[in-house]
Amino acid sequence: MMKNPLKSNKGYTLLFAVLVSSVVLSIGISILTISKKEFLLSASAKDSTSAFYAADTGIECAAYYDSNSSKFSTTTDDSSPFNCADYDIEREVTMTGTTYDPYVFSFQMPLGSSGVCAVVTVEKYYDDVDIERTKIISRGYNIGWDESDCDESSPRRVERALQLIY
């Protein structure tokens, strides 16, 4: 008896099983992929919010000491440490300008012990009409505080910055 191999029904069960398994597997993997993206997105919303409030604390810290002390003065050099968020900060003078060049001060601070930190620069300059202006730029990070610096890199690190000019 001649049997046509193309018309044989053998192997149908295997084909069907592979088909069903691959459909179910691809549904599972696609749900996991979407969920993973959602998870990362929601984690970044959380990280970004804590980075934002780190930046906010940095801004308020600089603005407070600018209006209540001479830590960021262009005429008096007061380099004594000051306290923000229970941390003693020593500001650095990163640029000493002459009369019309900007003075730039900077400092870094942690918020609590979770690694949240902020990098703040305070710039004093003269605007077009010769009025002294202050520009505070505060960059907040959700993680990255390492002993005395806010620069430890991590793939989860998020930066939020605020700028204040007055």
Q: How far apart are CA 54 and CA 144, in angstroms?
A: 12
Name which position in 77, 78, 86, 146 contacts other proteins (CB under 8 A).
86
Piece of 60-68, 98-106, 119-127, 148-156 that binds other proteins (CB under 8 A)? 60-68
Q: How far apart are CA 161 and CA 15, in angstroms?
A: 57
Number of neighbouring beta carbons within 10 Å of residue 28: 10
158 binds other proteins (CB under 8 A): no
Q: Which is nearer to other proteins, 97 or 157 (CB)?
A: 157
57 binds other proteins (CB under 8 A): yes
Least Å from the CB of residue 28 to other proteins = 3
17 binds other proteins (CB under 8 A): yes
132 binds other proteins (CB under 8 A): no
Piece of 73-81, 89-97, 106-114, 150-158 that binds other proteins (CB under 8 A)? 106-114
Residue 147 class from Cβ within 10 Å (0-12 exposed, 13-18 middle, 19+ buried)? exposed
